[in-house]
Amino acid sequence: MRFFHCLQVCSILVNGFLNTLILVSIFCALGCASVDKPEFEPRTLQNLRVIFDQEVVVKSSVLEFELEGTELREANFAKVEFFGTLASGVSVDFENRVVMDRRGAKGNLVTRVRVVDGLWEEIDPKEKETFTGTIKITLVDDIGVFAEGDVVSSVLIFQPNPEPEIETIESGLEVYPNQRVQIKGANILRSSEGKTWAIIDSGSVVYDDNSSLPIANSRYPIIFNDEGGFLTIHPTLFGVRSGVFSGQIRFENELLSGEVFKGNSQSFACDLLPPVAKTVTPSSGSRGQKISLAGRGFLTTDPTLDIGTYLVFEGTLTPDDIRIEPIVIAGSSAFIRSPYRIVDETLLEQDVWYDVDSQRKELIGLGALPGSFVGTIQPTVFHGGVEQKGNKTPFSFNILPSKQIVHVKYLPGFSRALEFYGLSVVEDEVKERVRKVLERDYKDINIEFREELPTDFIEFTTIEIGGTDPSGLLNFGYDNSFNEGGKDVNNLYLSDYLGGLNRHSQKAGYLPYGGVFIESFSAFSPTLFPDNFGTSTEFDVMMSPFMIALNGTEVTEDEWPQGARDAAIRNAIDMIGSLTGHTASHEIGHALGLAHFDLFETDAADRFHNDPPNDNWIMDAGSDRPFDERAEINGRGPAQFNRANSDYLKRVLPVR
């Protein structure tokens, strides 16, 4: 009350005596002097463990400090201080303030100090100079200092003339394209500092047919590591053809500033081998699934250098359907595929690929038909129009029936919508109910729902589950995926995306935004939307205890589970979860090609809902699916796929 009274007095004085503002301010200060000030507990500083592994420093160095245990912290800036002495006896006391970064999206905080921003000038090394001392990191947020850490007994060697000094390269090796060969030496640059170049001044490759190719002035950067660096057996240095190389390799440092420092040379010889395919895992899979090929000598595709790898599959494809004759795939009909991803020179990833013949509306490729493939797989690498074929490795693979993977992607809007419903505390329980509804609706269908991003399938469908409808139409959900013009009859495409904005859908006259919008379920409330069609008093009965908009009180952690409102909370969980799961099942059904009609029926490819509708059918239009059915209350629901839709799903996604 004293504080409120003080404000009143100040207000009166200011309004009455505008010319005595200074006196008013003094009076207000004196009048409020007796107000109790809140007492704050002093902050306990977090003790940081600082990860720092650099010793040699050049003018273009960026010193990186990772701060363990800061995954959940935010800092405005870091103060980085250097205390110590130089070998020449000069004391060092230098401070730099830098902005923070983070290791990945959810990793530790990282601070980076560019040496050129004052530290190099402070040390001023005319020749090699060594700093010994402590590096202190202090983190500051809006309130002040909240964490500190030290790198004690730190030794930094400042090198003004960083000529690369290569001691050894293991010579006489058998090497594959893109293989890394360890070299040992000093002053090899990190990527943040510039490049250490390996330059072939003179050399030649003698090929298996005794022809030879002289090599001169070819260069490729060394990759820094703790022991020195890696020399990559890269096509820009050695080409891709198998043979024997011998020659001289010179090393050179180029700082980011453009300064160049020439180093020493070393002789080097090696046997250049062709690429090799070894093993494929797994030995079976369905279309869109990832398979891995282990081997050696795989090259990452680089169109600018005309470098890459492709695979040749030859053999016999025997369909499971005995009515279809085995298909011989060889010569001009061989499967030729670029890998999905080159992990490194020892491993590549390939999908059980398929393509869609848009004219005939059918699948082609290895994954087109369930069956078995027996034959060979052969890697080929290329560079600048020159190819080198590898070995033909026996390859047997079982092609399984199509399996649809669905990534159920919950957006932040989903959590905000649950807060609107007063159900934030039970978010996990709502998600669990959604999962159960989806798995029940698609029982006996070869489909799998995952909340985590799939890593074993390259092609999968994603459905976003969020809060508000971006279109402002209060839609519960919408399939905005768009493949070759609309309805995906026979589920030819596995990688639909139900979410975000799809311009193709918009251009074709459909709604652009897709996914499930759970905040729109409030449109069932006759209190909030008295003029809406299809409202239900049951919604208000079930949600009014928890929705602030309906004068309720949100669920708290201390009442769930086993609190006084336990039964009501469970009903709300089941209701929101059922509405969400039912809507997702319906929209995913569209992405799979539903509703299904026989092709001889009029406009079968352009009809998306059951016609005629019926009680408890998932693919009925929205106006034919009332609240009770969606929420599974009062003896209504759960909705199911009708016979035509169920038979269709079992045909295009059969369980083996």
Pick from 399, 419, 446: which residue ends a domain?
399
Query: Could you read off the pLDDT of 248-264 as tens digits, one per residue?
Result: 999 999 999 999 999 99
pLDDT at 28 over 50: no
Residue 350, classed as helix, strand or coil, is strand
Q: In this structure, are 441 and 560 located in the same domain? A: yes
Q: In this structure, are 551 and 571 located in the same domain? A: yes
Q: Is residue 617 domain-resident?
A: no
Task: Report the range of poorest mean pLDDT among 98-102, 177-181, 501-505.
Answer: 501-505
- Domain residues for the domain of 119 are 46-158
pLDDT-derived band at 371, boundaries 50, 70, 90: very high
pLDDT value, residue 605:
75
pLDDT value, residue 277:
97
pLDDT-derived band at 599, boundaries 50, 70, 90: low
Query: Could you read off the pLDDT of 395-406 as tens digits, one per residue?
Result: 999 999 999 999
pLDDT value, residue 512:
82
The first and second tokens of residue 389, run together, are: 């074929």
Whole-number Å distance between alpha carbons of 638 and 493 = 28
Q: Is residue 4 domain-resident?
A: no
CB 469 within 8 A of CB 512: no
Q: In this structure, are 223 and 248 located in the same domain? A: yes
Among 312, 317, 286, 321, which Cα is nearest to 396's? 317
Q: In this structure, are 485 and 390 located in the same domain? A: no
CB 178 within 8 A of CB 299: yes
Q: In this structure, are 104 and 218 located in the same domain? A: no
pLDDT at 478 over 80: yes
pTM of the complete model: 0.82
Task: Report the range of poorest mean pLDDT among 12-16, 165-169, 621-625, 631-635.
Answer: 12-16
pLDDT value, residue 484:
65
pLDDT value, residue 509:
72
pLDDT at 295 over 60: yes
pLDDT value, residue 359:
83
The domain total for the chain is: 4
Q: Is residue 41 domain-resident?
A: no
pLDDT value, residue 30:
37
pLDDT value, residue 41:
56
Q: In this structure, are 345 and 409 located in the same domain? A: no
Q: Is residue 15 domain-resident?
A: no
pLDDT at 200 over 70: yes
pLDDT value, residue 510:
75
CATH number for the domain that contains residue 52: 2.60.40
Q: In this structure, are 172 and 153 located in the same domain? A: no
- Distance between start and end Cα atoms, the chain: 76
Task: Report the range of poorest mean pLDDT among 21-30, 462-471, 530-539.
Answer: 21-30
pLDDT value, residue 486:
73
| CB-count exposure of residue 231 (10 Å: 0-12, 13-18, 19+) | buried
Highest mean pLDDT among 210-224, 280-294, 357-371: 280-294
pLDDT value, residue 601:
66
Distances (CA, A) of 484 to 225, 302, 362, 493: 48, 30, 12, 10
Pick from 114, 133, 158: which residue ends a domain?
158
pLDDT value, residue 40:
47
pLDDT at 156 over 60: yes
Q: In this structure, are 359 and 249 located in the same domain? A: no
Q: Is residue 128 domain-resident?
A: yes
Residues above pLDDT 70, as percent of the chain: 93
pLDDT value, residue 42:
67
Pick from 158, 189, 219: which residue ends a domain?
158
Query: Could you read off the pLDDT of 324-362 as tens digits, one per residue?
Result: 999 999 999 999 999 999 999 999 999 999 999 888 888
Helical axes 412-421 vs 427-441, angle rounded to 10°:
110
pLDDT value, residue 26:
33
Q: In this structure, are 266 and 328 located in the same domain? A: no
Query: Bridge partners of 321?
Result: none
pLDDT average, residue stretch 624-648: 96
Task: Report the range of poorest mean pLDDT among 320-329, 442-451, 599-608.
Answer: 599-608
Query: What's the half-sphere exposure (Cβ side, CA atoms, 13 Å) at 156?
Result: 27
pLDDT average, residue stretch 578-595: 96
Q: In this structure, are 187 and 304 located in the same domain? A: no
pLDDT value, residue 2:
34
* Mean model confidence pLDDT for the chain: 91
Among 149, 137, 150, which Cα is nearest to 78's? 137
Whole-number Å distance between alpha carbons of 491 and 495 = 10
Q: In this structure, are 591 and 470 located in the same domain? A: yes
pLDDT value, residue 503:
78
pLDDT at 14 over 50: no
Q: Is residue 80 domain-resident?
A: yes
pLDDT value, residue 208:
85
pLDDT at 113 over 50: yes
pLDDT average, residue stretch 421-425: 98
Q: Is residue 449 domain-resident?
A: yes
Among 128, 207, 132, 192, which Cα is nearest to 163's? 128
Q: Is residue 635 domain-resident?
A: no
Q: In this structure, are 358 and 426 located in the same domain? A: no
Convert 279-311 into a string of H (helix), E (strand) and C (coil): EEECCEEECCEEEEEEEECCCCCECCCCEEEEE
Distances (CA, A) of 475 to 403, 470, 478, 517, 578: 29, 9, 7, 7, 16
pLDDT value, residue 25:
41
Which residue type does 250 have?
R
Distances (CA, A) of 575 to 126, 235, 463, 539: 75, 61, 20, 9
pLDDT at 12 over 50: no
pLDDT average, residue stretch 104-109: 89
pLDDT at 147 over 70: yes
Query: Bridge partners of 332?
Result: none
